[in-house]
Structure formats: C-alpha cells, structure tokens
Amino acid sequence: MTSGRELHFGYNVLGAGMHPGAWRTPYAEPFGSLDPRQWLQVAAIAERGTLDAVFLADGLALGRDIGRLPHRPPFDPIVLLSYLAGRTERIGLIPTVSTSFEEPYNLARRIASLDHLSHGRAAWNVVTSHDAAAAKNFGAGELAGRQERYERAEEFVDVVVKLWDSWDDDALIGDAGSGRFADAARIRPVDHHGTHFDVTGPLNVHRPPQGRPVIFQAGGSPAGLELAARTADAVFCALASLPYARAFADDLRGRAARHGRPADSIRIMPGLSFVLGGTEEEARRRHDELNELAGENRLARLAGQLGVDVDVLDWDRPLPGWLLETADPSTRGSQGAREVVLDLARRERLTARQILDRVITWHRLFIGTPEQMADDIQEWFESGAVDGFNVMPDVNPSGIEAFVDHVVPLLRARGLFRSEYRGTTLREHLGLPRLERSAALS
C-alpha cells in the first residue's frame, strides 16, 4: 500500500449502464436493468472483485426520455439494496435518499434496519434533489431553492445521527431469568426541536452494527460541500480533471478542518465511467458503437445538464463564450455537475463532441485498456486528491465484469487494492472508525 492508504471502490450500477446506448448493445439484454436476476449477477461480480460497495443513485420522477432510455434506477434503492443484502455477504450497500421528500425518522429507521440485516454494510448517500419534476410528486409547490434545501438537509442529517445514537451499544440486556430485556436508561429520547423537524425519539431500532451507518454526500455546490465537510464520511463527486480534483480536495479538506475534523476523515470517491477494450482501438470502437446507438441522446443530456436548449450546442464547435461565462442561472439543477463540465470546457476550449469524449453526463470518462485504466487510477490515487472511485461501467454486466476481471487484478498486483475483504462492515472496508457509544463513555 502507498503510505498505508488503499484504494476504495463503489460500483454505481446505473441500471443498464452509464452510457445512454447501453441497453441497445448486443452484449446487453434490453430489459436487463429491470430483471432482478441481473441485479443479483452484477452484485455478485462486484463482490467477487472485493469492491467496497454497491452504490445506487436515485431520482424521484420518471425521466422525459422514457421512450428512448430505461428509467434508472428502476426500483427504489432501499428496497433493492435490502433485497441484495440477503444475497450478498460482504459488500457495502449505499442507497441514495433525498432529504427533501422524506422524514428523518423513517430514513434513520430504514438505514438502521438495513445495517442490521446486512451485518453492518449500510450507508446513506445524502442528496437534496435538484429535479423540479420530483417536487411535483410531493405537493403542489415548486422545488425549494438550493439554500432552503440544504438547510433542511443539514438538520435532517443531524436528526438521523441523533436517532442512530439514541441507543447505547450496550443498551440490550436480554436476561431471560430476570426479565430485563434492555436497560431503558441507555436508550434516550433525542428531543430534537428545530426549524424543519420535531422528533422526540428514541429510534425504534436498536443501535446499528456500525454504530453510525456510513454517510455519503453527493452534492457539489458550496452548500453541498459544507454539508459533506461537517457530516459526511465520504463524498461521491464529479471531478473531470486532475487539477480540478486537487482544487476540490483542498477545498473539501479545508472545510473539514474548519469543522474540527482530521484531514483524512472523508473518503473522496469521484465517479469514473469507463469503456474498456483489449486494445485502445477496441475500446474506442466499443465507445463509437455505443455513441452510434445513443444518437442525439448524449447531446440532449449535456444540454439538460448545462441548463440550455439543445440547439445552443453544436457537436463540432466549442461551447459559446457566453455560456462558459454564465454563472449558474438558477438555484435548481445540479450546480456541481454544471461547473464540472464548464471548467473542462474553459480549460481546453473543447467542442461538445470532445466534451462527450471526456465525460458521460458529468462524470469523467476513461476509454482504453485495463492496463491504462490501472495506470490512470494509480496516478489519481497517488496524487493524493482522491481515495478511490465510484466506478460506472458503460454497460452492465459486461463492463463491471471487465473491471473486476482485468483492472482489479492489476491494482492488487501493484499493492493498491485488497485481495480479500479483511473486515465485515462497510466502515471497515473504508477504513473508517466506529464510534463507540456506551454508558461507560457517557
């Protein structure tokens, strides 16, 4: 291991795969992402690769492109990962759940339940939702602005952590002889009375195996980074270039330090989409085929991400100067996602086609051989800017299989990645401490 550090990998499944052409390829089933058996298959592959976790992104409205693209995820992430918990042994389970349309008591309870059933493999990826269509499934109003969403998120996370902490580790007694089941004095109300939430508690689930299940945070705006710096164990972020990644890591670690947290307390795990081939040409050919199948869907997605009409973009011209210079036009949409692409476009004056050769949606795209990908991962890791990646195969299951069978062995041989799980919990996989909570300490 490089100075004791080790790589960490989430596997962001994204249904049929990251590439919008994925479902149409000859090496995928069109309805594969809707088939429980494929989910079992890809989870098993990831576990064979000793990856840290399966990660599920989320959205709370059906996409407008359902005529052309599979909905993703096709199932509620907590339900799907609870299902997979019963069919996997060691791999972590990270559902994304928005703080904007849930109650903290329900969320804390579900993640705690998943942590118990999986013997300590649960996490929660915190997002605030930036999709106006989602808001319309939860009331008549508009989506709240970013500031309000993050204020609610900050309080939401606090309530969830308080609920997870409401039972001491040693609250359970289980003495059949005396009839004492638990020590009620070691189970405390949370009595939270805040701006957005009033929650008396305690939680009706006992202390989770991990103490606190792992908290991921996935917002890239300054408000999102502040939330991560204060509360998260790990971030899932979009970092399209190494200079951008270094600046991001410095920013996040500086914020964490200002919250009194050690510099290494947050695992930085950007998305990394990839197209692998036995040779670079083979990989490029696979990418070209996928692009052919995706057609105009790619440009439409880029336009959506940038908050402009698709007509504004031209495949073979640099992005218009006014767009490069325009500050985020709204408080909705993903600010982090937009900035990632604009930063890349500004640095290198890229055309839309060139951008889409470097990112899928807003995540960095690697195209090449397993050897090249291992080099790339090692370079980023050794820069110190990242602790690993949330890998996003172009197509499932073939992409994750190629990663596990051809990239992971190289990283193992280089001493950068585990060959077997050493711990049983996600906290252990991620090298995060477990916070004890007991009468002896309080």
Q: 324 is written with which tokens?
A: 């490069």
Work out whether 146 is an interface residue with a second copy (CB under 8 A).
Answer: no
Work out whether 195 is an interface residue with a second copy (CB under 8 A).
Answer: no
Stretch that binds a second copy, among 132-140, 212-220, 230-238, 269-277 (CB under 8 A): 132-140
Q: Checking DSSP bridges between strand 172-175 and strand 180-182, what pairing results, if any?
A: antiparallel
**Residue 76 C-beta: closest distance to a second copy, Å:** 4
Helix (H) or strand (E) holding 222: helix 222-231
The string of DSSP letters for 40-60 reads HHHHHHHHHTT-SEEEE---S
| Nearest one of 62, 65, 74, 86 to 33, comparing CA atoms | 74
Q: Smaller CB distance to a second copy: residue 40 or 308?
A: 40
Residue 241 one-letter amino acid: S
Dihedral angle of Cα 218, 131, 39, 97, to the nearest 10 degrees: 50
**Residue 7 C-beta: closest distance to a second copy, Å:** 29
Is cis: bond before 209, omega within 30 of 0? no
**Residue 112 C-beta: closest distance to a second copy, Å:** 8
The answer to whether the CB of 390 falls within 8 A of the CB of 269 is yes
**Residue 210 C-beta: closest distance to a second copy, Å:** 15
Of 41, 113, 326, 351, which lies in the binding site for a second copy, with binding defined by CB under 8 A?
A: 113
Q: 372 is written with which tokens?
A: 């090249």
Work out whether 149 is an interface residue with a second copy (CB under 8 A).
Answer: no
Q: Smaller CB distance to a second copy: residue 139 or 262?
A: 139
Task: For residue 408, give every residue at least 6 positions away whose Cβ sits within 8 Å of its Cβ, in sequence order, or none.
Answer: 49, 50, 51, 417
Residue with the two structure tokens 């508009």: 142
Stretch that binds a second copy, among 45-53, 106-114, 232-240, 408-416 (CB under 8 A): 106-114
Q: Smaller CB distance to a second copy: residue 186 or 364?
A: 186
Of 3, 4, 176, 442, which lies in the binding site for a second copy, with binding defined by CB under 8 A?
A: 176
Of 1, 2, 62, 147, which lies in the binding site for a second copy, with binding defined by CB under 8 A?
A: 62
> How many residues touch a second copy (CB under 8 A)?
75
Work out whether 106 is an interface residue with a second copy (CB under 8 A).
Answer: yes
Of 18, 42, 54, 80, which lies in the binding site for a second copy, with binding defined by CB under 8 A?
A: 80
Q: 38 is written with which tokens?
A: 């494929």
Work out whether 379 is an interface residue with a second copy (CB under 8 A).
Answer: no
Binding-site string for a second copy from residue 81 to residue 100, where x marks contact by CB under 8 A and - marks none: -xxxxxx-------------
The answer to whether the CB of 356 falls within 8 A of the CB of 344 is no
Q: Smaller CB distance to a second copy: residue 197 or 421?
A: 197
Q: Smaller CB distance to a second copy: residue 25 or 335?
A: 25
Stretch that binds a second copy, among 55-63, 302-310, 323-331, 395-403 (CB under 8 A): 55-63
CA distance 47 to 54: 9
Work out whether 144 is an interface residue with a second copy (CB under 8 A).
Answer: no
Task: For residue 302, give every residue at least 6 positions away whose Cβ sits within 8 Å of its Cβ, in sequence order, or none.
Answer: 313, 341, 352, 355, 356
Work out whether 183 is an interface residue with a second copy (CB under 8 A).
Answer: yes
Work out whether 4 is an interface residue with a second copy (CB under 8 A).
Answer: no
Of 197, 246, 304, 326, which lies in the binding site for a second copy, with binding defined by CB under 8 A?
A: 197
Work out whether 101 is an interface residue with a second copy (CB under 8 A).
Answer: yes
> 285-324: which residues touch a second copy (CB under 8 A)?
293, 295
Of 44, 48, 75, 282, which lies in the binding site for a second copy, with binding defined by CB under 8 A?
A: 75
Distances (CA, A) of 216 to 116, 303, 346, 430: 18, 27, 29, 12
Task: For residue 24, give every residue at least 6 positions away whose Cβ sits within 8 Å of its Cβ, in sequence order, or none.
Answer: 30, 293
Work out whether 181 is an interface residue with a second copy (CB under 8 A).
Answer: yes
**Residue 432 C-beta: closest distance to a second copy, Å:** 23
> 11-50: which residues touch a second copy (CB under 8 A)?
23-26, 30-31, 34, 36, 40
Task: Name the H helices within 12-164.
Answer: 36-48, 77-85, 104-117, 132-135, 146-164
Work out whether 132 is an interface residue with a second copy (CB under 8 A).
Answer: no
CB atoms within 10 A of CB 155: 17
Residue 271 one-letter amino acid: G
Q: 239 is written with which tokens?
A: 């970092």
Identify any residues that bridge with 392 across adjacent strands, giving them in sequence order. 273
End-to-end CA distance of the chain: 37
Q: Smaller CB distance to a second copy: residue 162 or 427?
A: 162
CA distance 183 to 168: 9
**Residue 66 C-beta: closest distance to a second copy, Å:** 5
> 198-257: which residues touch a second copy (CB under 8 A)?
198-206
